[in-house]
Structure 1
Amino acid sequence: MRIRSSNDDATDRQLSLLIGLVVVLAAGVATLDVWHAVVTHAAIPNPLLLLLIYAVSAISYRVKIVIRIRSSNNVTSWGDVPIMVGLVLVPTPWVVLCVTAGLATVRILNHGDTRKAIFAVAKEVLVISATGATLLLFGAHPSADHPQASAAAVVVAYLVLWIVDDLVFHPVIAVASRTTIRKVFLHDFGGRVFVRAATLATVVYVIEVLVSGATLLLLAFVPVLVGCAHLWRSRRLRTQQERDSWRQLADTTDELSSVDLNQVLHIAAVQGANLFSAGEVEIDLTTSGVDRVVRAGTDGVTYDGPGPRKFDGESSITAELETRDRSYRAGELVIDFDGKIKLTEFEQYKLKTFASALCTAIRNAAAYAELQRINEQNAYDAAHDPLTGLANRRELYERADEYFAGRTEDGVVALLLIDLNHFKEVNDTLGHAAGDAVLREVARRLDDAAAPGDLVARLGGDEFAVLLVNLITPALATHRAEQMLSALETTLEVEGMQITVEAAGGIALAPGSGGINELMRRADIAMYQAKRAGQQTATYAHAQDTADVERLMLGGELQRAVAEQEFVVDFQPIVDLGSGEVISAEALARWQHPEYGYLTPMQFLETVERSGQLPAFADAVLDQALAASGVWREAGFDLPVAVNVSPRSLLDPRFPATVLTQLARHDVPPERLVLELAETLTISQLDTVSRALDELREAGVRLALDDFGTGVSPLSVLSHIPVNQLKIDRGFVTALETSSEAAAVIRSTVDLARSLHLTVIAEGVESEPQRHALWELGCVAGQGHLFARPMSSVRLLGTLQRGSGGRPGALASALHDAGAVVRMPRRRASGPGRTG
């Protein structure tokens, strides 16, 4: 594409107007010069003299033009010398002719810009005419034989030349470079003054020699004088130019440290034109496999698009964009000048340095762009289903979380959960490839039918979800859901077969609390209601949800429950399997909710853990458990009490102190308290809570591992926690009579416990055959409905007092007559309270 700003057009118009004005003035002045020469009958000069003036002018301008092409500075120009000497020797029109002819010749040979050439010629016409008129005014008469010009006249005339030259030149340069005349005038003012002074001294010297009629040998000093001044000035300018170039190159390199490839290319093209005083610069990436060319001048980028490039000739210089070790190649840098030039060694090194820095910047920007693309692709893959391209479960949850956090649009939000009916038959009959084709088509239809802003997601398998947003009323959710499911009714063709897709959808409006998990649960309940009823859609209703615990999450309920002692503790006795006697009791928390009734920990514990009320809840349970233990002990039943501990409680550094304080307050010995830990704890959690467990064990509190056998690595758990008891999960006990594997697990657990001197307790003992089988496998204790269901502490005390078969404290008859079994003394373990 071609890039050109309105500022460029305005600058061109202003520049054309200024040049046009100069040309018009020059034409008028040249006409006056010719008229004056005709009126005064000026003689025709010697052609050899005119040829000499022409040749000297061409040589001086040649030096001037070459330097200006290769530098942005105003450098030494000795074209004033032939002008001043020529005006003393020949009439003004002939000087104009010779000088402008020499200038034009040089411009043509260098293939210069036409507009610049016209301006240069017009400027010289004005300068020569003004200088010639000043000499005439001060009495100087041009003559090759008897030149007459005083030193004062020469000085004044040269000052006029200087002023006219600056008045014409600086405004045009200021417009072209978009800067102020003052800034252009002050640029290198000291150097220009020196050059003008040296030029004036040379002019005065030459003219004095000519006027005085001295030998022409004295003019031999002129080339020496001019050469010395020129070499001094050139060296000074070159030193200044190199210093400025290095500074500009350093600044440009800093600007290239961008991660935006477009910015790198545009900055490099524009600054490259400024850095090398070039007409235009091209950055060609086509040789590296990228069809892109960026072209710019000092005024800005003029083109950014596909190739081919524009410049590839004698007036341009090409540099490879590659790293120093040539391991990476980005393309080519092309610098185009006004004419054919040859770079100095310094400029070649500067070009190589700039090209290397640009190559590095392009590689860094390209690498960043590729990294950004990969990150975006990874982010997209993480949020989308690979088969259908729809959003996945993670994206759905994040979008819903934004709604619940209050960062989305106004209006009602609902969730539509869709499950395809009999989809398994498609996979079984036609194969999984056909099933994937059906899923892709279903995804496409749902996405097409979705309203703007809705999010369609595939949750997995044949289950889809649609987050419906911006609903004006809740009733609109049903209308939207029916529209989307209707889009699935049209038959689709898979492997030449016509298939009809049937689906059921469950609709749930966003709840006041509970977040996306509660919303998903409700939509799932509604979807299965639709399936059972044979309907296309169903909307969630509280009345049909027996597991609705939303109100437990409303503000203040948990705090109120703790304050008003709605949490109560029941106790289930743990019985010696051989004797039937109660040896301890497990505390089981319950919530007597005023609306939902008697709730078990499975229904509220997760909510308690998330609410921040866990410390208060755990303290209330522990307080009731230890209080009951004290009552039993006073009645003659000194039973240890076991209390379940949440892993989150163990993460609280205050928990050990709380436990010890409760033990002291109720005057219960630490060894009479057993803390039951879930065997499903991860190793990382065990490492975190080990300090709290060590502190409790050192105080005498006993530890039990609950649900043993259900975790990933029970041996790893045992190696981190030196417990006193193992509790076999009820699942193994239930399968004991029918599964040899379950019996093997229990047997190995008992053997492991014996080797570690641990007590084994079986959970969920429901029948006498289970009791006998456990006893035969070596398990010494158990709990379950065979002996007693959970009950209050008062009721348990009464049950203990009544006993079984006239034996207080027993809940079942002994498996053997008294004395039939001889028990060996229990071996003491090395740890406190550890028995076998």
Structure 2
Amino acid sequence: MRSAKRLDDDVTDRQLRLFVGLVVVLAMFASVIDATLPIRRPPDWTCALILVAICAATVLAHRLRVHVRVRSNTEGVAWAEVPVLIGLVLAPLPWVALAAVTGALIDKMLLRLPPRKIAFGAAKELLTATAAGLVLLAFGAGPDATGPHFNPVAITLAFCAMVLVDDLVFLPLMAIVQRSSIIRVARVNLDVKLVGHVFRLAAVLWVVAVLAYRGDPLLLLLVPLVISCVHLWHSRRVRTRVERESWQRLSRAIDALNVPDLTEVLHLASTRAAQIFSADDVEIDLADRGGDRVVRGVERGVTFDGPATGSTSDGNLITAELKTADGSYQAGELRLRFRDRVKFTEFEQYKLRTFASALCTAIRNAQAYAELARISAENAHAATHDPLTGLPNRRKLYERASASIADGAGDGILALLLIDLNHFKEVNDTLGHAAGDAVLREVGHRLQDAAHPGDLVARLGGDEFAILLTGLPAPAMAAHRAESMLAQLDRTIEVDGMQLTVEAAGGIALAPGTGGVEELMRRADVAMYQAKRSGRRTATYAHARDTADLGRLMLGGELRRAVAEQQFVVDFQPIVDLGTGEVISAEALARWHHPQHGHLTPLDFLETVERSGQLAAFADAVLDQSLTAFGAWREAGFDLPVAVNVSPRSLLDPQFPAAVLARLHNRAVPADRLVLELAETLTLSQLEVVERALGELRDAGVRLALDDFGSGVSSLSVLSRIPVHELKIDREFVLAVETSPEAAAVIRSTVDLARSLQLTVVAEGVESEPQRHALFRLGCVAGQGHLFARPMGAGRLLAALRRGSGGRPGVLAEALHETGAVVRLPRRRAHGRSSLPHLPA
């Protein structure tokens, strides 16, 4: 861009040199013509005095002009025609031309202009004087110093000849300098110029008439007065118009700078500044703000935009700091370059400061817009991408899949590959989360590299990945692509110097005709578990092999209708003190009273509910019925905490804690009367997400219980991450407590661990009195199971509590010991009451 500007400047300079040379050559021809003209009478002292007066008047007339800056040149309207034309009436043309040229030379040298401009000014004066003199000679209005002949027609035509020649010489020059057209240059202040020409012609006619008719010489004194008045009017009119247009351009430029893009601001500012201040080159330097960017431009466009490369080219520089009006912010520096020496007036300096301040504000606003856009883009990216791997997350996958399904998958078939890493939890448990994160990042990187253009690789959470396969030419290509992608995971992964092998299972599902993204995910999930169960790497969903019969209910909208029609009901199984038989709490167990399938347990429908999008409504319905039952029991005198099972997917919902606390508040139930039971099979990757929700609930007083404790391989790891209040021993250990020393050892160690942590232990699945006695001897304090009561409705449980056992309300079994033979464990408080059952002494 810089070389292009230099080329344009070279072209302009070449054109100026050629045009000035042409004018000088024409002036030389004019001087030859003047030299060959016959002189009627030799110059005497009168003529010499007239010539000196013409020379002096010409100098004065040139100094009396209205200056308008055009680039580094100054365009002005002077009164030089008046003394020259009067001199042509009184003295011979060659001498008047010589006097006019001499006056122009003196004026240009006083201004210290370069030789080219001096030569051009002298040549122009010679040409205009020659043209006017020739017209006067043609009409017989020759010079006569003693008695000039008053010929208004000849004088008027001579004046017009002077103006015409002046415009023919001057307008092309200004058009070259401004890189504009001659017509556009001629239209500038045309009305004011015409009025000025009329007054100058009138002044010439007045002077010649007074001299020709030998009028009172005092009348000549009116000429300087009239010229002064007209000049003041003329200059004021021109300056007012120029300033108004200048402020209008400045206002339009400032308005144009109000754009959010910094590059557009800088480009607009560089070109508009060149136009407003008639600069040959404008430079905006942002290096003062710690950056390294310079923008240069001319009126026609930007010539450079990039890092600072040193000083600008030669020329006169006028600079202004880019700072706000109060000086609180400075963006850099604005530099205006002129080829010739230029000095700004006070008005121009103020205008430059105004423009610089507006540009600084525009730069600051654009930088603020850019920062906001960056933050917004980062937030948008974070909302749709996984922070660990950088891959799109579940939300992005759903959006892309929904759009693809709506568009008909474009030119090919759409499929979803759902991948789950096998035994990944062991990596976290053995090597730590840092190693697990490294493995997940490497897996995501390999899947991304193996994907085809148009595919979307996403991490759903934990060790689950999904790939949206697009543009498949045939359904069979989905399996082929899936196999090739999973093959990328066969290579070992190095973590902290150790070589790890990752195994994975993938489920493939083609886009369904109905059901949308949720159904596509469900089918891929079903296929993935089929692959796991069969020991294969991949499996493709087949409707005939879909054993999730109840899952198909979702397609008919039965889950949504079940929630709306309250087909989900809650039964309650009491939890009793193993020593006294007293009921100490109750566990809520959801049931689906389906019109066709009868009573369905959570094992039958919970997985389907979790995949249907109805989990939040289902959980809210269960919680509402549980709190309603608690209220009924409390009114009857039985203050029993109620335990509600919570799906890990509910804890992933950021609105879940607030919904639970709001329901407790609306029902006026103390927070410590609610126990949320968490599945021990929660993965550590899920715990990272739900810890905040659990902490919020626990801090509010809600009690937490770890369900099925001991059934997984990471019991202690989960327990160390979740500050629970209760442990519920898995029923498999309870069933074997009498016959298996290993099961008894597990229960005893669990009780010892709970005692050291001040936790309550509840045994699940107590079926017989021998089991009850064995558990009690091992130190287990509470239990639930068919030995005490089967799950029942809230009303039936209340009736059983009132009826009691042996006439004792609230007791469902005979005590194992005398009352005086028991002690109480210290109560563990957490924002509310804590009731622990008895332990044997």
TM-score, normalising length from structure 1?
0.67
The answer to whether residue 345 in structure 2 is matched with residue 347 in structure 1 is: no
Mapping of residues 400-799 of structure 1, within 5 Å: 400-403=401-404, 409=410, 411-418=412-419, 443-458=444-459, 464-487=465-488, 504-511=505-512, 519=520, 523=524, 526-527=527-528, 530=531, 535-541=536-542, 546-547=547-548, 549-558=550-559, 590-591=591-592, 599-601=600-602, 603-604=604-605, 645-647=621-623, 678=644, 684-685=658-659, 688-689=662-663, 693=667, 705=674, 707=676, 739-740=750-751, 765-768=766-769, 784-790=785-791
Gaps of 5+ in 1: 619-643, 664-668, 698-702, 721-726, 751-760, 822-835
CA distance in 2, matches of 1:500, 1:121: 93
CA distance in 2, matches of 1:445, 1:361: 45
CA distance in 2, matches of 1:480, 1:448: 13
In the superposition, relative to structure 1, how do residues 713 and 198 fare at CA in structure 2: closer, same or farther (>3 Å)?
A: closer
Shift of 1:476: 1.1
Shift of 1:285: 2.8
Q: Conserved in 1, the CA contact under 8 Å of 2:416 and 2:509?
A: yes
Identity of aligned residues (%): 50
Mapping of residues 227-238 of structure 1, within 5 Å: 227-238=228-239
Structure-2 residue corresponding to 1:755: none
CA distance in 2, matches of 1:100, 1:269: 40
Q: Conserved in 1, the CA contact under 8 Å of 2:15 and 2:176?
A: no
CA distance in 1, matches of 2:139, 2:404: 92
- SS across alignment from 2:305: strand
Q: Conserved in 2, the CA contact under 8 Å of 1:4 and 1:301?
A: no
Q: Deviations over 1:616-669 (max 9, x none)?
A: 999xxxxxxxxxxxxxxxxxxxxxxxxx9445899xxxx99xxx9xx9xxxxx9
In the superposition, relative to structure 1, how do residues 441 and 564 fare at CA in structure 2: closer, same or farther (>3 Å)?
A: closer
Q: Deviations over 1:244-278 (max 9, x none)?
A: 54454344333322221122212222222232233
Q: What amino acid sits opposite 1:685 in the alignment?
A: A
Structure-2 residue corresponding to 1:284: 285
In the superposition, relative to structure 1, how do residues 495 and 213 fare at CA in structure 2: closer, same or farther (>3 Å)?
A: farther
Structure 1, 512-521 or 550-559: larger mean CA deviation: 512-521
Structure-1 residue corresponding to 2:299: 298
Shift of 1:141: 0.8
Q: Deviations over 1:743-782 (max 9, x none)?
A: 76999989xxxxxxxxxx99865443676799999x9998
CA distance in 1, matches of 2:492, 2:816: 73
Q: What amino acid sits opposite 2:280 in the alignment?
A: G
Q: Conserved in 2, the CA contact under 8 Å of 1:514 and 1:550?
A: no
Structure 1 vs Structure 2 CA RMSD: 6.5
Q: Deviations over 1:82-102 (max 9, x none)?
A: 332243244556656665676
Structure-2 residue corresponding to 1:333: 334
Q: Conserved in 2, the CA contact under 8 Å of 1:709 and 1:729?
A: no
CA distance in 2, matches of 1:288, 1:2: 24
In the superposition, relative to structure 1, how do residues 494 and 94 fare at CA in structure 2: closer, same or farther (>3 Å)?
A: farther
The answer to whether residue 165 in structure 2 is matched with residue 154 in structure 1 is: no
Structure-1 residue corresponding to 2:365: 364
Structure-2 residue corresponding to 1:195: 196
Q: Conserved in 2, the CA contact under 8 Å of 1:268 and 1:358?
A: yes
In the superposition, relative to structure 1, how do residues 119 and 568 fare at CA in structure 2: closer, same or farther (>3 Å)?
A: same
In the superposition, relative to structure 1, how do residues 693 and 495 fare at CA in structure 2: closer, same or farther (>3 Å)?
A: closer
Q: What amino acid sits opposite 2:369 in the alignment?
A: Y
- SS across alignment from 2:360: helix
CA distance in 1, matches of 2:659, 2:207: 101
Q: What amino acid sits opposite 1:38 in the alignment?
A: T
Q: Conserved in 1, the CA contact under 8 Å of 2:189 and 2:238?
A: no
Q: Deviations over 1:668-690 (max 9, x none)?
A: x9979999784979663356446
Shift of 1:609: 9.8
Mapping of residues 130-279 of structure 1, within 5 Å: 131-144=132-145, 146-151=147-152, 153-155=154-156, 157-159=158-160, 161-162=162-163, 188=189, 191-208=192-209, 210-211=211-212, 225-279=226-280
- SS across alignment from 2:342: coil
Shift of 1:139: 3.4
In the superposition, relative to structure 1, how do residues 617 and 719 fare at CA in structure 2: closer, same or farther (>3 Å)?
A: closer
Structure 1, 571-580 or 392-401: larger mean CA deviation: 571-580
Shift of 1:812: 7.7
In the superposition, relative to structure 1, how do residues 494 and 516 fare at CA in structure 2: closer, same or farther (>3 Å)?
A: same
CA distance in 1, matches of 2:433, 2:757: 42
CA distance in 2, matches of 1:572, 1:431: 39
- SS across alignment from 1:85: helix
Gaps of 5+ in 2: 680-693, 704-724, 735-745, 822-836
In the superposition, relative to structure 1, how do residues 586 and 503 fare at CA in structure 2: closer, same or farther (>3 Å)?
A: closer
Q: What amino acid sits opposite 1:257 in the alignment?
A: N
CA distance in 2, matches of 1:715, 1:439: 31
Aligned residues: 755
Q: Deviations over 1:520-539 (max 9, x none)?
A: 56545645655665544333
- SS across alignment from 2:508: strand
Q: What amino acid sits opposite 1:693 in the alignment?
A: R
Q: What amino acid sits opposite 2:200 in the alignment?
A: T
In the superposition, relative to structure 1, how do residues 101 and 567 fare at CA in structure 2: closer, same or farther (>3 Å)?
A: same
CA distance in 1, matches of 2:231, 2:592: 104
Q: Deviations over 1:524-567 (max 9, x none)?
A: 56456556655443334456665575422214434777999987
In the superposition, relative to structure 1, how do residues 786 and 420 fare at CA in structure 2: closer, same or farther (>3 Å)?
A: closer
CA distance in 2, matches of 1:460, 1:566: 32
Shift of 1:451: 0.9
Structure-1 residue corresponding to 2:82: 81
Q: Conserved in 1, the CA contact under 8 Å of 2:421 and 2:502?
A: yes
Q: What amino acid sits opposite 1:483 in the alignment?
A: S
CA distance in 2, matches of 1:435, 1:814: 51
Q: Conserved in 2, the CA contact under 8 Å of 1:288 and 1:329?
A: yes
Q: Deviations over 1:782-836 (max 9, x none)?
A: 8632245458999x99x99xx99999x9998755999999xxxxxxxxxxxxxx9
CA distance in 2, matches of 1:539, 1:328: 63
In the superposition, relative to structure 1, how do residues 804 and 169 fare at CA in structure 2: closer, same or farther (>3 Å)?
A: closer
CA distance in 2, matches of 1:100, 1:512: 95
- SS across alignment from 2:374: helix
Q: What amino acid sits opposite 1:299 in the alignment?
A: R
